[in-house]
Structure 1
Amino acid sequence: MKVLVLGGGVIGVTTAYYLATSGHEVTVVDRQAEPALETSFANAGEVSPGYSSPWAGPGVPIKAIKWLLMKHGPLVIRPKLDPAMWLWLIKMLRNCTSARYAVNKSRMIPLAEYSRDCLRALRAETAIHYDERSRGTLQLFRKTAQLDGTAEDIAVLKQYGVPYEVLDRDGCVGAEPALAAVKHRIAGGLLLPQDETGDCHMFTQALAARAGKLGVQFHLKTTIERLMADGSKISGVATSAGVLQADAYVVALGSWSPRLTRPLGISIPVYPVKGYSITVPIVDAEAAPVSTVMDESYKVAITRLGDRIRVGGTAEVSGYSSSLHEARRATLDHSLTDMFPRGGDLAKATFWSGLRPMTPDGPPVIGATRYANLHLNTGHGTLGWTMACGSARVLADLLSGRKPEIDTAELALARYENRFG
């Protein structure tokens, strides 16, 4: 079967790879000159199934007010006259209950765990390298109250058999020795030892090269203009290079997915939430993190990627703006210098932003639409790198007529037919 994958980020490229290994004839279309030059380019580098939680949760509305007032707060809202922004925010607030949080997290963890296993299998099969490490994620708490508030998360980890360790101050230093110099700032931590790290951009480009050897074609520097429908099926995609046709179509355009499907009457509740990162060269390896440290106070991830430190964070709701705001960099700088003051050279850091495609409930949208040959793989939010391989494998199975190895019914677009939308 001929399949057209729309989007050349980590989701689109992994989807193309698994479709190709399933025997399909695959073409990837993307407006950039290379794969993974947008949201997949400089993310935090975490492959973190254990940290796969919805942003919408109990207590978040009150926390959001505090975050907005903090000097280095993790949340920024820049209001716009955009109905989609306000509708998305309202839907997210409606998911901020204990019951909905539990349901949504229960949909995310199995996919994230499966995806990590798929990534490990892919790595073993291909010997692909991307500055990968398998040293876990340390969720770091500066205040005892933060540590005490992890009971609900731990209950879900127990439910799904996800290994974890609750650490005191010395335990955190044992996991991340460079924290010894700042241990007075630490109350404790939650270690998720099976989490991994790696450079998403490096991975995606390497996998794209392997996909090319399997016959996957890449139409790059090609703008996707609109989907063309004929009755209950998609008949083609209008692009800057002309009309492209296939037997099946996969929308993997992240934050831009709703804009492509809306004219067809398909409403995908995905909205961009901007994240920022800095990439800092390591100057003292012993003073740098060995894996990922999640600074819970600022919601900032500090990750070791080869000879660099990637610091990522901030949730900025500001539409489709890609502008860089120095105040957001100040937050990243502060978290890094507070936890690993001698690890990297901030003077040589590069500053970046990307648009995370967020759903209001948390899980991505994977599967069929009302058009028989149009499928979705989008809305992964901050977890696109974490969930990429599993999501792609699931979609390849669905298009190939195979039953996926995990239950995907609750990941489909149909779940938004209920009142929580």
Structure 2
Amino acid sequence: MSRKNAFYAQSGGVTAVINASACGVIETARENRDKIANVYAGRNGIIGALTEDMIDTNREPARTIAALRHTPGGAFGSARYKLKGIEENRAEYERLIDVFRAHNIGYFFYNGGNDSMDTAHKVSLISKRMGYPVNCLGIPKTVDNDLPITDNCPGFGSVAKYIAVSTREAALDVLSMAKTSTKVFVMEVMGRHAGWIAAAAGLAGSEPGDAPHIILFPEIPFERAAFLKRVKQCVEQYGYCVIVVSEGARYADGKFLAEAGTRDAFGHAQLGGVAPVVANMVRDELGYKFHYAIADYLQRSARHIASAVDVDQAYAVGKAAVKFALAGKTAVMPVIKRVSDKPYRWRIEEAPLAKIANKEKMLPRRYISRDGFSITEAARRYLQPLIKGENYPPYLNGLPKYVSIKGVPVAKRLNTDFVV
């Protein structure tokens, strides 16, 4: 069988462990050089394929590729660029196939979330129509943990660990000042439609009265009166109140508490910061002194406190994607199958992209307490194993030692340019 090249790209918001998946792809491909000649990485995601701007990973030393496993961010560059429907913008898909054909690319590995799985699926379809079949594999990545079928998504476990740790530590800070100063602390976490990250904050507390005292989930409509009543109760009972709010918290009519009125590149509502909205609501109605924090990029880039389970799973799905492709599979995604909670055991299976693309997995109602402000024991059983274990990066002079790739470009072979 003649050797083909592979194309790998990172998509959407990156995670602390997306590079571990890249490491899994590249190292596994190198172990199978008799079948995969090289892995070309798209510079800035799928845009790198459309513009024929690709990175030659063969020019990266083995030690650099290995170090990707403990380096956060997207080593090859990512992008929030969504390909439209095939018939709506066929030119983009034809361009992809033209680039793949020109560079003898027979494998496409797309490392991303819901929209990325849709792209990988569409490319698998049009490649057949155009007479140049490409094995297209999705590789799961999303801190939101909202891809269906897979038990969890690589990237989520490390965010969950960061948020749980940060909530516990911030709560101790607030508690020490509660008698004389701050009564309320609000932390905003990611999660536009699904409350998985917000739920993870619930792991910070283990005893009655422990923080977080209130979690605001996207799945539970926000009720101002009930919320303020709960804040007042917590301050009176515990002396302080720690609130964790998902960026996607919304009213019963579906409007986000912090909707800015603009849209991002994927057409999603741009959110403008819900923490100050909630904090000011508390101040205006109850008069409590407050502080708030917006975790933002910190939560998804915190490789120094990554979950060992998350790192292992991120590498495993990258490795499995290559194995699946070499076995002739296409239009599938490696998924994580939970075998048991205690001890925590898991394995990798496969699922068709058609059943994953553009679908979201919400936080189940059984994971949210009856009053809507905290997590249940079922949620704790699900979440706890995902944050287990430490996998610290190497340190130098007190700081994590991360790597950067050389990024040697692949020579262009097409005479035409493509503007995105």
TM-score, length of structure 1 as denominator length = 0.30
**Could you say which structure has the greater relative contact order, defined with CA pairs below 8 angstroms and 6 or more residues apart?**
1
Q: Which structure shows the higher strand fraction?
A: 1
TM-score, length of structure 2 as denominator length = 0.30
